[in-house]
Amino acid sequence: MRAIWKGSISFGLVYIPIAVYPATREEKLSFRQLRATDLSPIKYKKVAEADSKEVSADQIVKGFEYERGQYVVMKDEDFAKVRIESTHSIDITDFVDLPQVDPKFFYKPYFLEPQKGGEKAYALLHRALSGTGKIGIAKVVISNREHLASVKPDGLFLILELMHFASEILSPEELKNGPVSAITEKELKMAQSLIESMSGAWEPEKYRDEYRNAVMELIEQKAQHKEVAGKPAPAVRTTNVVDLVKVLQESLNRNQSLKPKRNGARASGGRSTSSLVKQKRRVAA
């Protein structure tokens, strides 16, 4: 795995050299646009708005539209002149209790690896954060953009998790919620019982992208020129809040009957998309 950024964590007068690595990956199916007559891939050309002529890469510059139709051109050397504290450092300015931070602020994690000479300070910060239940709030520049971020302990490592600024968090003022006063004690207890009956340990491996797997199976069938039968669309569910207690009781009964099946499926484990495709190829061979 290649580091995407190298610098340091700083808090107070402490500097810890670190490297930043991706902690997640997005599994997306990539499709090309093709001409229908001969399946020739479609290419996109960059053309100027003024005369629709194609523009070569060496003639393209970055510009910011500060007024309608008025642009300021920015070159690489201009961006290099913008030097702020967080350009080459994860600059922790505050430590806060993790539960105080609304989960909506967090959106992308990265692994932090200590570099030569920073191992002890890294371990010290990790243990101190773990013992206090706090996270560091920092600023960091990645890909020419300054981000709000947090430094958190995660297992044996520290992670850097990018955060939204407060101005980026939308308010749900226009949304409607149900009247709390209309909820009866019986309904609440039954809802809690249903939640309890569906509760268990967090096992991320058991959750799979069923849509992606189904699309890959369909692609495999079409690649082998097999006839693909369509499946009927699922029936649209109707609102069932006429008798909430009855619906909750039916849900509890249904969940109890499904428990053996769920446990059996969990024991068999989930299969990856690649394993499904390989298995189908072996069967076809």
Query: What is the domain-level CATH number for residue 11?
Result: 2.40.290.10
Tell whether 14 and 130 lie within a shared domain.
yes
What is the distance of C-alpha 173 from the center of its chain? 25
Tell whether 221 and 247 lie within a shared domain.
yes
Q: Which residue has the higher pLDDT, 116 or 247?
A: 116
Domain that holds residue 239: 180-199+206-284
User: What is the rounded CA–CA span in Å between residue 55 and residue 34?
Assistant: 23
Q: CA–CA distance from 23 to each of 20, 160, 161 (Å)?
A: 9, 9, 9
Q: Which residue has the higher pLDDT, 284 or 179?
A: 179
Tell whether 212 and 264 lie within a shared domain.
yes
> Structural domain tally of the chain?
2
Tell whether 164 and 229 lie within a shared domain.
no
Identify the band that residue 221 occupies on the pLDDT scale cut at 50, 70 and 90: confident
Q: Classify residue 233: in a domain, yes or no.
A: yes
> Which whole number is the average pLDDT over 246-272?
66
User: What is the rounded CA–CA span in Å between residue 187 and residue 29?
Assistant: 43
Q: Which residue has the higher pLDDT, 69 or 176?
A: 69
User: What is the rounded CA–CA span in Å between residue 162 and residue 46?
Assistant: 32
Write down the pLDDT at residue 228.
Answer: 78
User: What is the rounded CA–CA span in Å between residue 273 and residue 120?
Assistant: 41
Four-residue CA torsion sign, 253, 258, 259, 260: positive
pLDDT tens, position by position, 88-134 = 789 999 999 999 999 999 999 999 999 999 999 999 999 999 999 99
